[in-house]
Amino acid sequence: MKKWKVCLIVLSVLVIGIGLSGCKKKQSSDEVQRYAWPLGTSSPEDTVTQIYAEKFADEVSRLSNGKMKIEVYPNSTLGGDRELLESCKDGDIPFVVQNTAPQVTFLPDTAVFDLPSAFDTIEEARKAVDNPAFYQKMEKVYEKGGYKLLGYADQGFRVMSTNKEIKDIGDFKGQKIRTMENPYHLEFWKDLGANPTPMTFSEVYIGLQQGTIDAQENPYEVIVSSKLYEQQDYVVETNHLPHYISLIVSDEFFKNLPEDQQKIITQAAETAKEYAREKSDERIEDRIKTIKDSGTKIIKLSSRTRKQIREAASDIYKEIEDDVSKDLVDAYLKNAEK
């Protein structure tokens, strides 16, 4: 299966390469684009990631009167997160839409997004990434890595699902919770007294069903689309991290485009970002209803418990400040509630 997938990716990139063969030389605005530029994601179609990607592609087409074309490839068709980042940097797959978590390996400064319990509302989190001072710093981070940052949408906050009623920080103790393989995420749950376990996402539903794990954490979008709530009695609004989705383009590819096409891409990205955020808010309300209708209870934590969580995870702030930079952290948290 692995060999088959690798062959498919290679074949796809070869086909894409034909379409991009003329992209590394300066393109004329009047040139007819014969092949659609690929945009890769590792997410399924029924997600905010797909909505973000499709809206961006539609806006690019609309603003260019159909002269500029982008084809969206979801579901890791062109590779997983790592392959997409590598191919984007090389310019083979110029556009990528993905969660920021997998980018930490390539862009260590994106660890700033792993600061836990920094914001009380998703509006605060959006203001943080849109803050010009912070955004300009992140543009430089991506440019240094070979990418052009076009914006951040989101899927709301990441929340916890479990079979134990959580009301106080002591209730997290001993919970076997599945997390992504991210050192800051693992440390956060350890600080709460839980027992975090990295696990391939495809194994999470069975893990919950068989009791290998007690809990997991994801945005509402994922909890419903993967039916994880079916195996859990509670969804706890820990809201420990915003689930940001970035839209990036190969920096070399972008710089080789005519100025008017660069403006179209930038404008389309801004429109798509706002549209994706609106849809995310709508879909979260719908997902919450689905969970409640199933009989799974949703728990909103008290401000006291949220404060306890933040205090328990204070060491992560110091660690990320050392690993990233205090200036970047300060810019990100500028408007956060203290």
For the stretch 35-69, pLDDT in tens is 899 999 999 888 999 999 999 999 999 999 999 99
* DSSP assignment string, 40-105: E-SS-SSSHHHHHHHHHHHHHHHHTTTSS-EEEE-TTTT--HHHHHHHHHHTSS-EEEEESGGGGT
CATH number of 2-18+31-332: 3.40.190.170
pLDDT, residue 28, reads 59
Taking residue 65's Cβ as centre, other Cβ atoms within 10 Å add up to 8
Distance CA 78, CA 88 (A): 11
* DSSP assignment string, 203-253: GHHHHHHHTS-SEEEEEHHHHHHTTGGGG-SEEEEEEEEEEEEEEEEEHHH
Phi, psi of 295 (to 5 degrees): 100, -10
- Structure tokens of 199? 């696990």
Distance CA 245, CA 315 (A): 26
- Structure tokens of 297? 């209870």
Closest alpha carbon to 45 in 4, 97, 122: 97
The reported pTM is: 0.88
Query: What Å distances lie between residue 245 and 38, 98, 151, 279, CA to CA?
Result: 18, 5, 8, 13
Residues 133-164 have pLDDT tens digits of 999 999 999 999 999 999 999 999 999 999 99
Distance CA 35, CA 68 (A): 9
Question: Is residue 86 within 8 Å of residue 209, measured between CB atoms?
Answer: no
Residue 154: strand pairing partners? 244
pLDDT, residue 336, reads 77
Mean pLDDT score of the chain, rounded to an integer?
91
Distance CA 213, CA 215 (A): 6
In the chain, % of residues over pLDDT 70: 90
pLDDT, residue 200, reads 85
- Structure tokens of 123? 């509006």
Is 2 a residue whose pLDDT tops 50? no
* DSSP assignment string, 138-175: HHHHHHHHTEEEEEEEEEEEEEEEESS---SGGGGTT-
Tokens 């393109």 — which residue? Answer: 27
Residues 289-301 have pLDDT tens digits of 999 999 999 999 9
pLDDT, residue 4, reads 46
Is 333 a residue whose pLDDT tops 50? yes
- Residue, of 189 and 23, whose pLDDT is higher: 189
Give the domain ranges of the chain: 2-18+31-332
